[in-house]
A and B are shown apart, each in its own frame.
Chain A
């Protein structure tokens, strides 16, 4: 009993230590400019103020970057679902020539990191006129092999007799996908949507490469640029970090079960 309590206390201490950077980020973001540059470092604002947030939105156009991030992540999520879900289902349940060979090739492709092709991909998009556009930032999310795995894994557990029965009743393959498969896939769809949304929101290297115009910047790209100009403005940068990371953190907390289940389905079985 006592051991359990001690252990719980220890876990609480570790959790506090791990969360300190995030708590401190929020605390400093409410401090007056220059307040954090003291010794010993203050842990909480003397007089909480929204001044940093006001500066970010009024003087540095963070609202625009936020809209860009929101737009790109939402579109990436919708498009990824449209591309990935039918493919995952087909690989699991529809018989067609070459299906298993193609799937094997996709498994093998998983060891190839996406960065390998980044330079040619840039040239390819340049030739297509997609560099420096929202579309250019979206493109990698259409080719999500991981999502295909996740959906396929889930579809394998759907009894084939169910589909056969629908076929005998005269349902077309498209109708089967929409009426039978999609409703049962709901949990995995939420997981996948969450993965893509968080992934594209947090993505840095590709948007940094493909988005050259400042008015197209996503939040991480804008924050990285801002942090180079404002090294001394501790409180302002913390507010920028809060604006950038809080939306995804809250989204994760709200849907954490879906996220963690998907992570396990993808890494352990896949």
Chain B
């Protein structure tokens, strides 16, 4: 009898302790996520905001209208460029940084690890403002450096062709340290004797990396890839601060488009449809990556 009440007490405590967090997650995360799907089937706009009786259920009309909207496709296209260029760039940069910091002959390794990680913990808005000036056409350090190499001044953020790469450069600087730390942990678990054996067999640095290190850290490469894809789909503050989506809307991302739909034009129905499409994109890319990795035997 006593044992039974003990289990009951434990269960009661379990519910009491998880209750507040689960309520908050339900109210502020799960409910809005589902409401987003529902809202995307309505014409919720500034009139419905004033008076809910103006709200109508319109089925898939928001989605149809988005598919017919070139501005939406431009935002999708820009985001795709961020993913297609940004993900390999970020994964490669972080992996190279991790290999450097992990090198056995390197001294003061913790120091370099912290130095390269530091940009990740800075406030995004603040460093985006800093980069705006680094990228300044006339007085920026980047053009100054390029000038030393004989390359003429580039109007980084004023040219639709260079604005997106310039933002990507900033994003890479800001976030590679995070991936680097994850890679470092994986590299440290690669058995040293395996590498030593390959070295004895006369394998060069590239061969050792290709056939020993890379297979061992393949699951981590996949994990970092997935995290980076999700991150690239969620760029917002970078274009908001650095270019306001311009020039010629060349840096409007999907999330930026959603923000405009929702909080500039107050088309919350249409904005929710954008949010839902964004979610499906992230999910689809992640599933494809998992499938490719499984086929390649990485996981």
Q: Does A252 contact B (CB under 8 A)?
A: yes
Collect the chain B residues with CB atoms within 8 Å of residue A253's CB: 114, 118
Q: Does B259 contact A (CB under 8 A)?
A: yes
The stretch that binds A, out of B57-65, B74-82, B127-135, B192-200, is B127-135
Q: A143-B25, A223-B129 are in contact. Are A39 and B139 (CB under 8 A)?
A: yes
List B residues 56-113 near A (Cβ within 8 Å).
97, 100-101, 103, 105-108, 111-113
Q: Is the CB of A11 within 8 A of B112?
A: yes
Distance from B172 Cβ to chain A, minimum over Cβ atoms (Å) = 11
Q: Is the CB of B122 within 8 A of A120?
A: no
Q: Does A134 contact B (CB under 8 A)?
A: no
Interface residue SS majority, chain B: helix
Q: Does B209 contact A (CB under 8 A)?
A: no
Q: Is the CB of A114 within 8 A of B29?
A: yes
CB-nearest residue of chain A to B153 = A39
Counting residue pairs across A and B whose Cβ atoms lie within 8 Å, the total is 293
Q: Is the CB of A237 within 8 A of B133?
A: yes
Q: Does A113 contact B (CB under 8 A)?
A: yes
Distance from B22 Cβ to chain A, minimum over Cβ atoms (Å) = 7
Distance from B287 Cβ to chain A, minimum over Cβ atoms (Å) = 10
CB-nearest residue of chain B to A177 = B17
Q: Does B230 contact A (CB under 8 A)?
A: yes
Collect the chain B residues with CB atoms within 8 Å of residue A256's CB: 114, 117
Q: Is the CB of A19 within 8 A of B279?
A: no
Q: A111-B286, A167-B6 are in contact. Are A87 and B20 (CB under 8 A)?
A: yes
Q: Is the CB of A223 within 8 A of B125?
A: yes
Q: Is the CB of A119 within 8 A of B272?
A: yes
Distance from A22 Cβ to chain B, minimum over Cβ atoms (Å) = 7
Collect the chain A residues with CB atoms within 8 Å of residue B234's CB: 113, 115
Q: A21-B131, A124-B35, A224-B125 are in contact. Are A90 and B6 (CB under 8 A)?
A: no
Collect the chain A residues with CB atoms within 8 Å of residue B173's CB: 18, 21
Q: A11-B101, A120-B39 are in contact. Are A148 and B21 (CB under 8 A)?
A: yes
Q: Does B227 contact A (CB under 8 A)?
A: yes
Collect the chain B residues with CB atoms within 8 Å of residue A39's CB: 138-139, 144
Q: A117-B29, A205-B237, A237-B133 are in contact. Are A87 and B185 (CB under 8 A)?
A: no
Please measure, in the bound complex, the distance between the C-alpha atom of A42 and the C-alpha atom of B105, giving whole angstroms: 36
Distance from A256 Cβ to chain B, minimum over Cβ atoms (Å) = 6
Please measure, in the bound complex, the distance between the C-alpha atom of A142 and the C-alpha atom of B233, giving whole angstroms: 24
Please measure, in the bound complex, the distance between the C-alpha atom of A209 and the C-alpha atom of B22, giving whole angstroms: 24
Produce 1/0 per residue, A120-148, CB < 8 A to B.
Answer: 11111000000000000001101111001
| B12, B121, B131, B240, most chain A CB atoms within 10 A | B121
CB-nearest residue of chain B to A235 = B133
CB-nearest residue of chain A to B48 = A123
Q: Which of B115, B127, B272 lies in contact with A120, CB distance below 8 A?
A: B272
Q: Does B216 contact A (CB under 8 A)?
A: no
CB-nearest residue of chain A to B231 = A113
| Residues of A participating in the B interface, judged by any CB pair closer than 8 Å | 3-5, 7-8, 10-12, 14-15, 18-22, 24-25, 28, 36-41, 82-84, 86-87, 89-91, 94-97, 99, 102, 106, 109, 111-124, 139-140, 142-145, 148, 167, 172-174, 177, 198, 201-202, 204-205, 208-209, 219-221, 223-224, 227-228, 234, 237-238, 240-242, 244-245, 248-249, 252-253, 256, 259-260, 263-264, 267-268
Can you list 14 residue pairs at the A/B interface with Cβ under 8 Å? A4-B107, A8-B106, A21-B173, A22-B122, A39-B139, A96-B12, A116-B36, A123-B35, A139-B28, A144-B21, A145-B29, A202-B123, A220-B126, A241-B129
Beyond A87-B21, A95-B14, A119-B268, 14 additional pairs, beta carbon < 8 A:
A15-B116, A24-B130, A37-B139, A116-B33, A116-B275, A120-B33, A140-B29, A145-B29, A220-B123, A223-B129, A224-B237, A234-B139, A237-B133, A268-B186
